[in-house]
Amino acid sequence: MVKQPTIVVTGAAGFIGSVFVQYLNEQGFHQLLLVDDFGVEEKRKNWEQKQFIKVIERQSFIAQLENDEFEVDAIVHLGARTDTTEFNYAIHEELNLNYSKSLWNYTTQKKIPFIYASSAATYGAGEHGYDDNHDIVNQLTPLNPYGVSKNEFDKWALTQSNQPLSWTGLKFFNVYGPNESHKARMASVIFHSFNQIKQTGLVKLFKSHKEGFKHGEQLRDFVYVKDLVKVIGWMLHQMMSNSWDANKNGLYNLGTGKARSFYDLAANTFKAQGLAPNVEFIDMPLDIRDKYQYFTEANMAKLRAAGYTAPFYTLEEGVADYVANYLVPAKSY
Residues taking part in catalysis = 146, 183
The Cα 323–Cα 177 span in angstroms is: 9
For every residue of 59-124, which 3-state class applies, written as one string? Answer: HHHHHHHHCCCCCCCEEEECCCCCCCCCCCHHHHHHHHHHHHHHHHHHHHHHCCCEEEEEEHHHHC
Q: H/E element holding 48?
A: none
Neighbours of 37 (CB within 10 A): 13
The DSSP code sequence of 205-228 is: EEPP-STT--TT--EE-EEEHHHH
**Residue closest to 96 by CA, chosen among 166, 203, 10, 201:** 10
The helix/strand/coil state of 141 is: coil
The helix-helix angle for 315-322 and 262-271 (nearest 10°) equals 50
Neighbours of 98 (CB within 10 A): 13
Question: How many Å separate Cα 105 from the centre of its chain?
Answer: 22
The Cα 308–Cα 101 span in angstroms is: 27
The Cα 194–Cα 191 span in angstroms is: 5
Say if residues 321 and 313 touch (Cβ distance below 8 Å): yes
Question: How many Å separate Cα 144 from the centre of its chain?
Answer: 17
Task: Mark out the alpha helices in the chain (DSSP H runs).
Answer: 15-26, 44-47, 58-66, 89-92, 99-110, 145-158, 189-200, 225-240, 262-271, 286-289, 301-305, 315-322
**Residue closest to 48 by CA, chosen among 75, 13, 9, 11:** 13
The Cα 105–Cα 187 span in angstroms is: 32
